[in-house]
Chain A
Amino acid sequence: GQSLEQPSEVTAVEGAIVQINCTYQTSGFYGLSWYQQHDGGAPTFLSYNALDGLEETGRFSSFLSRSDSYGYLLLQELQMKDSASYFCAVRDRRSGAGSYQLTFGKGTKLSVIP
């Protein structure tokens, strides 16, 4: 089956850099995605890595190492509005399924403090 591990909570200071790690176990791995979810809201897509390496999108970067089954989300120049839950999600294709699916980790609650 699929499993993802990420820290449950992280606290960081405004303006700082924070890294949220994610390790996974799955079959049929295609890629690792990251989503942001504010309380009461829907997840919003942040990034996707299919190949090893670092992808940068503004203040956010995401890294993947397929050989280590490991990835991370890096948030720079933290702002108060970045306080949210961050989910890593494995994109895979399970036996019998007609489409690629996302399996989500349990989420990391990031609190940005002044």
Chain B
Amino acid sequence: GAVVSQHPSWVICKSGTSVKIECRSLDFQATTMFWYRQFPKQSLMLMATSNEGSKATYEQGVEKDKFLINHASLTLSTLTVTSAHPEDSSFYICSSRVRSTYEQYFGPGTRLTVT
């Protein structure tokens, strides 16, 4: 199956700083990437849908100025958590949809802890 990587796998940052998470599709071109957030023992909540070369579509309640998404190429999307606060601590997972299929392939996730 398709491979999606994320970097870093975990990060600890201080409140008020910004953190960038990278999501790469390693062996296919991902025209669409999705960013999810998952709190402990809860479901995956879609944050935004990112299409290559265009602005991301954010879900209701997700602040686009706080969670900056850039999908500059067919293999890379980045999520930047700006001015992070402890309540932003979560598991962030990206996924890519292979063109013309119904499958989404998930990255291994990034665990963010804001102190």
Least CB distance, B65 to chain A, in whole angstroms: 19
Task: Tell me the bound Cα distance from A105 to B42 in angstroms.
Answer: 9
Q: A41-B108, A42-B108 are in contact. Are A99 and B103 (CB under 8 A)?
A: no
Nearest-neighbour CB distance to chain B for A94, whole angstroms, equals 9
> Besides the contacts A35-B106, A102-B104, what 13 more A-B pairs have beta carbons closer than 8 Å?
A42-B93, A42-B108, A42-B109, A43-B93, A44-B106, A45-B1, A45-B105, A50-B102, A98-B49, A98-B57, A99-B97, A101-B46, A102-B34
- Whole-angstrom distance between the alpha carbons of A106 and B46 in the complex? 13
Q: Which residues of A contact B (CB under 8 A)?
A: 30-31, 33, 35, 41-45, 48, 50, 87, 91, 96-107
Neighbouring B residues of A43 by C-beta, 8 Å: 44, 93, 106
Bound Cα distance from A100 to B96, whole angstroms = 11
Known: A42-B107, A44-B106. A102 touches B46 (CB 8 A): yes
5 contacts between A and B (CB under 8 A): A30-B102, A35-B106, A42-B108, A48-B102, A96-B57
Residues of B within 8 A of A (CB-CB), count? 22
Closest partner residue, chain A, to B1 (CB atom): A45
Tell me the number of A-to-B contacts counted with CB atoms below 8 Å.
56
- Whether A104 pairs with B104 at a CB distance below 8 angstroms is no
A99 touches B102 (CB 8 A): no
Tell me the B38-71 residues at the A interface (CB within 8 Å). Answer: 42-46, 49, 51, 54, 57
Q: Is the CB of A106 within 8 A of B42?
A: yes
In the complex, the answer to whether B43 meets A98 with C-beta atoms within 8 Å is no
Please, which residue of chain B has its CB at the minimum distance from the CB of A87? Answer: B43
Which of B57, B102, B104 contacts A97, CB < 8 Å? B57
> Within 8 Å CB of A96, what residues of B?
57
